[in-house]
Amino acid sequence: MNKDFKLGIKSGLPIALGYFAVSFSLGITMISSGISAVEGTVMSLSNLTSAGEFAGIRVIAVGGTLAEMVLTQIIINLRYSLMSLSLSQKLEENMSFWKKLIIAFGNTDEIFAVAMSHQKSLTFSFMAGLQLLPIFGWTLGTLLGAVAGNLMPERVSIAMNVMLYGMFIAIVVPATKKSRPILLVVCMAIAFSCLFRYVPFLNEVSEGIAISICTVLAAGLGAIFFPQKEPVTNAKENSTDNALKKT
């Protein structure tokens, strides 16, 4: 088995466990909304997004239109386009278009955070291993939750919904301890999120758009105030290569 693939599997295991717990409650919600276990399992297998699926279930439950469903998903999942643009900068060179599409399918908040913290360039093998278990855990949890139906107490189901946020915090906190710029960018993102939560007029902006705006603002300010300088070694190597080409 490829070394990068093994490392990806190891890195994706904690995400898979968290996804399993959250999607279990998602499966219960699907059954109560009139969605069958088979339909719910296919939905989770083809849509690796917690907020998107929960919102989609609400639209289905109230008998919303297809246009409402499309608009809801675009707004809620708009941030993934920004994350994919950032992630593409770390992918190994000469990666094929189809491999990039596969990686884009499994690019979630938690997977993105782990991938961006990876010290080396991202190979397809590593990303495949990183995404494999989370996709399996998300799908399996939905299936078992749907089969369990309403057998699980409501309090336990609600508690499981919090686990996803706790898992994401556990991914971000170690990075903020090692880097002050990352800490400041995270604090800026939290501050912007609070503005969209509590300030009049701003709190009327939809959650998906608010997340995208906060992401762009925090990342933009981070790039302005804490630019990443090119390593000196790389600069020397480039100058040497150019000199050799001229000769």
Q: Is residue 241 in a domain?
A: no
pLDDT lower than 50: segments of the chain: 231-237, 239-240, 243-247
Q: What's residue 127's pLDDT?
A: 93
pTM across the whole model: 0.67
Tens-place pLDDT, residues 19-49:
888 888 788 888 878 888 899 999 999 988 8
Mean pLDDT for all residues in the chain:
81
Do 145 and 211 belong together in one domain?
no
Do 30 and 120 belong together in one domain?
yes
Q: Is residue 39 in a domain?
A: yes
Q: Is residue 65 in a domain?
A: yes
Q: Is residue 243 in a domain?
A: no
Do 122 and 169 belong together in one domain?
yes
Do 128 and 157 belong together in one domain?
yes
Do 89 and 162 belong together in one domain?
yes
* Domain end (from 159, 174, 189): 174
Q: Is residue 247 in a domain?
A: no
Cα-based angle 145, 72, 86 (whole degrees, multiple of 5): 90
What range does the domain containing 222 cover?
A: 179-229
Do 142 and 22 belong together in one domain?
yes
Q: Is residue 246 in a domain?
A: no
Tens-place pLDDT, residues 135-148:
999 999 999 988 88
Q: Is residue 43 in a domain?
A: yes
Q: What's residue 233's pLDDT?
A: 44
Do 158 and 41 belong together in one domain?
yes
Do 66 and 106 belong together in one domain?
yes
Q: What's residue 124's pLDDT?
A: 93
- Number of domains making up the chain: 2
Q: What's residue 230's pLDDT?
A: 54
Do 51 and 85 belong together in one domain?
yes
Q: Is residue 240 in a domain?
A: no
